[in-house]
Amino acid sequence: MVAAQRFEGQTVLVTGSTRGIGAGTAERFAAEGANVVVTGRTEADGRTVVDRITEAGGEATFVRADMRDPDAIAALVEATAEAYGGLDVLVNNAGVETNTAADEATMDDWEFVLETDFRSYWLCAKHALEYMDDGAIVNISSNHACLTMPEMFPYNAVKAGINGMTRAMALDFGPHVRVNTVNPGWIAIDRTTDEMDPEYRAKLESIHPVGRLGTPDDVAGVVSFLASDDAAFVTGSYVLADGGRTAVMQDDMLPDYRARRTE
């Protein structure tokens, strides 16, 4: 249960917030008093998130936008500022991935991931800055920025790049706007767990020091902290929210992978 109203009267834009981590983050900010703009490509899903927020007593609106379209990004940020009179917090969360290796990925794979997961973060932040006097930007990356798995390219490269982008933005946007990154690990959302074999899930849980997979709420709590005045002296940093997964070394899958690749 969220009691603090750390964002009362503030406006928060969360990209990719029609489901999963983004939806959970939007709901967390609304519960802490923010006016929230939910956005994504699927209006029905976005309306569902807005309805959950308003039914819980929060304030939210949906603006449809495709993060691969620079003009749509500019219009999204402008619509946010017009709806609520400004912008205080931007959460860059929209993301896609392709299950491709570095020597198998195509130009279409490259553009699909980089335009959605990387270029949109820069453009959203650049446009948001025009409306921020004091504020915070939180970029959602992944623990793939620190360690990775086979056939996750260019997703893993982009996630590492987001950490670097955050450092650059923290220098260039300071001192009035702070910029930080959250790097989630395995988060139990529909996209990752709907068809997951129970035995495989149990194995995944067993290699996490906390003994479970994460939830959108786990990530949302870290995001709201970094956006709040409680983190007023934190910028240019990243926080791993992965249940301790990156503290575990597990490379037993590599021999089988190499053998399969050379068959």
Which active-site residues does the annotation give?
155
Q: What are phi and psi of 120, to 5 degrees?
A: -65, -35
Q: Are 71 and 46 in contact (CB under 8 A)?
A: no
* Preceding omega of 175 cis (within 30 degrees of 0): yes
Q: Are 67 and 116 in contact (CB under 8 A)?
A: yes
Name the DSSP class of 87: -
Contacts of 179 (CB under 8 A, 6+ apart): 125, 136, 137, 138, 139, 166, 169, 170, 173, 235, 236
Sheet of strand 11-14: strand arrangement: 59-64, 35-40, 11-14, 89-92, 135-140, 177-184, 238-241
